[in-house]
Amino acid sequence: MVEFSLLAAFEDDKEFIFEVFKTTMREYVAWAWGWDEEFQRNGFWTHLPVQNFKLVYVAGSKAGALYIEESEKCHFIRTVFLQPRFQGLGVGSALLAQEATRARNAQKLLALKVIKINPAKSLYDRQGFRVVGEDDATYHMQLG
């Protein structure tokens, strides 16, 4: 298993978080809804406050970010992304496994949405997530 750590994000991490989001997700967001830089940046921080992010560190380097919303019955992965140089190394699988354990220990579902053309869907499939619904742009998935 790839070793990683999760640390709280702070105000000065906003540029890193948004730039990695843009690098990794722009193509898929543009396909699904179109990409307007100002709209995306403003909407991103309106709906995803930085204090709710965890930064993913691998070997002491910022690798990406994770945002999970927790409710009474569910841990919902709002977004997770890794810089391209950290993709394909098992970090995403290890991160999902950790979150699955955390949700299971809390006796909650683990759920997410993925844009239909995002190749990360195959990672979620391999991790045991299944499609439980969809809309025009996304698959709604749950673990189990």
Q: What is the pLDDT of residues 92-124, one digit of tens each?
A: 999 999 999 999 999 999 999 999 999 999 999
Please name the helix (run of DSSP H) or strand (run of DSSP E) that holds residue 80, with its range, or none. Answer: strand 74-82
14-33 and 37-47 helices, crossing angle to 10°: 120
pTM of the model: 0.93
Distance of CA 94 to the CA centre of its chain: 13
Taking Cα atoms as reference points, which of 50, 46, 37 lies closest to residue 10? 50
Domain boundaries defined on the chain: 5-143
Mean of the per-residue pLDDT values of the chain: 96
Confidence (pLDDT) at 144: 66
* Position 125 pLDDT exceeds 80: yes
- Sequence-distant (6+) residues with CB within 8 A of 82 are 20, 24, 56, 63, 64, 91, 92
Q: Tokens for 91? A: 């970090």
User: Is domain 5-143 in CATH 3.40.1190.20, yes or no?
Assistant: no
Q: Give the integer Cα–Cα distance in Å for 5 and 132.
A: 30
Confidence (pLDDT) at 1: 63
Q: Do 50 and 13 meet the contact criterion of CB atoms below 8 Å apart?
A: yes
What number is the average pLDDT over the span 45-56? Answer: 96
